């Protein structure tokens, strides 16, 4: 990728890749600099959810859709549990200038929201050219910098990007987790009414928080569950002492093999207990490790809301939301572990189940509703497993 030309006015933000490529534009959001891995996201909507997703910790998100920020920001489309901690991507790269908000739900201009979140932004970039570069070369390490004066030491920034070790081998779940046990009672969002209050008597779900998204907890709560969130480092003994009817393994950032060093023994003990287990994204990857599989770093990852995934157990194809740079190697799954879902883009593994036990997981995000509800049946599948164990009936999976 060639270095982008200077604009007529002095650039106030740059993205410097580890190979020396420099991309220049206009700074938005927070002032400062951060090093991270650069990925791209192809979703047309949901930029606020993307920029508050803890799974993006340690990354800079390039948006292929040109109009980012045009509906402003609000207080409802937040995914991280503790917004004050600002767990999520450190940077955003966008094409068009940020316009005034055009949504009745907006409470804040997007630029101001980025500043408050501490996200460094770079606008005026040919994001599709950057995306093509990533597809060809893989996700690069980089430094994003915003300085209103336009003074940048490019040599130093290049060296910093080249020195950064990247995401492989890094356990980021300990940074993304909420760090303490808590109860979750908020249910799904209802048009013009806001978030419903979740019921809590049908079953007790313990969610292990590796960087969990709020809407996952909302859907669990909305199915009549009492939901308790525990830290990523919670022991099996602590979890089982809560007498859960089911355990949920959440999404999160970083290398699953690194997080698995302490998470895998816990998950194995939970499986041995016979309690139903359901994992999403990082939870799916760590579950695969616990069952004897392995994970790999992907060339460019899957990030977007238009990914076709086939469920072999139903024969149906779903349009799903994805956000992962690591994946389960489907060929590594041992006997007794069945591959249930695959990506129709590249054939990569997107789901598994443990034959004969109430244990399953998926790589994609069924709570993100791009279909819009193609994958909600997975939550009902989890509840069916719990109901069979507890002796109550649940809604059909459909």
Give me the active site residues, please: 281, 365, 367
CA distance 115 to 47: 15
Cβ pair 245, 238 in contact under 8 A: no
Compute CA distances 5 → 10, 59, 365, 374, whole Å.
11, 25, 38, 44
Joined tokens for residue 192: 């013009």
Crossing angle of helices 282-290 and 256-273, rounded to 10°? 70
How many CA atoms within 13 Å lie on the side-chain side of 17? 19
DSSP assignment string, 279-320? EETHHHHHHHHHTT--EEEEEEEEEEEEEEEEETTTTEEEEE
Cβ pair 177, 54 in contact under 8 A: no
What value does the CA radius of gyration of the chain take, rounded to a whole number of Å? 21
CA distance 388 to 396: 13
The DSSP symbol for 251 reads P
DSSP assignment string, 178-211? --S-EEE-EEEEETTTEEEEPP-SSEEEEEEESS
- 181 burial (CB, 10 Å; 0-12 / 13-18 / 19+) is middle
**Cis upstream peptide for 372 (omega within 30°):** yes
CA distance 278 to 250: 9
DSSP assignment string, 85-115? G--S-SEEE-SSPP-----TT--B-HHHHHH
């Amino acid at each position: 990728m060639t270095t982008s030309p200077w604009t007529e006015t002095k650039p106030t933000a740059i993205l410097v890749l580890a190979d020396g490529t420099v991309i220049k534009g206009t700074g938005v959001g927070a002032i400062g600099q951060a090093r991270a891995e650069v990925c791209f996201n192809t979703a047309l909507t949901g930029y606020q959810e993307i920029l508050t997703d803890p799974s993006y910790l340690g990354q800079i998100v390039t948006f292929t859709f040109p109009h980012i920020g045009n509906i402003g920001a609000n207080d409802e489309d937040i995914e991280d549990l503790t917004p004050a901690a600002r767990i999520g991507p450190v940077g955003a790269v966008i094409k068009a200038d940020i316009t005034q908000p055009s949504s009745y739900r907006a409470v804040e201009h997007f630029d101001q929201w980025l500043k408050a979140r501490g996200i460094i932004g770079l606008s005026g970039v040919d994001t599709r050219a950057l995306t093509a570069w990533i597809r060809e070369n893989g996700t690069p390490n980089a430094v994003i910098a915003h300085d209103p004066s336009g003074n940048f030491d490019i040599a130093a920034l290049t060296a910093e990007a080249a020195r950064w070790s990247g995401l492989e081998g890094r356990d980021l779940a300990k940074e993304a987790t909420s760090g303490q046990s808590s109860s979750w009672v908020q249910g799904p969002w209802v048009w013009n009414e806001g978030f419903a209050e979740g019921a809590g008597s049908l079953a007790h779900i313990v969610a292990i928080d590796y960087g969990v998204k709020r809407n996952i907890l909302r859907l669990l709560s909305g199915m009549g569950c009492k939901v308790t969130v525990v830290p990523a480092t919670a022991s099996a003994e602590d979890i089982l002492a809560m007498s859960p009817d089911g355990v949920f393994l959440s999404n999160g950032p970083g290398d699953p093999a690194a997080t698995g060093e302490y998470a895998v023994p816990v998950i194995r003990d939970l499986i041995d207990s016979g309690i139903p287990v359901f994992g999403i994204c990082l939870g799916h990857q760590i579950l695969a490790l616990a069952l004897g599989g392995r994970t790999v770093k992907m060339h460019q990852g899957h990030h977007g809301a238009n990914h076709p995934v086939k469920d072999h157990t139903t024969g149906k194809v779903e349009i799903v939301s994805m956000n992962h740079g690591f994946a389960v190697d489907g060929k590594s799954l041992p006997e007794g572990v069945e591959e249930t879902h695959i990506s129709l883009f590249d054939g990569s593994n997107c789901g598994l189940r443990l034959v004969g036990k109430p244990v399953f997981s998926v790589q994609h995000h069924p709570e993100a509703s791009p279909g819009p509800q193609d994958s909600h049946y997975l939550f009902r599948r989890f509840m069916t497993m719990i109901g069979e164990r507890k002796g109550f009936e649940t809604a059909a999976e459909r």
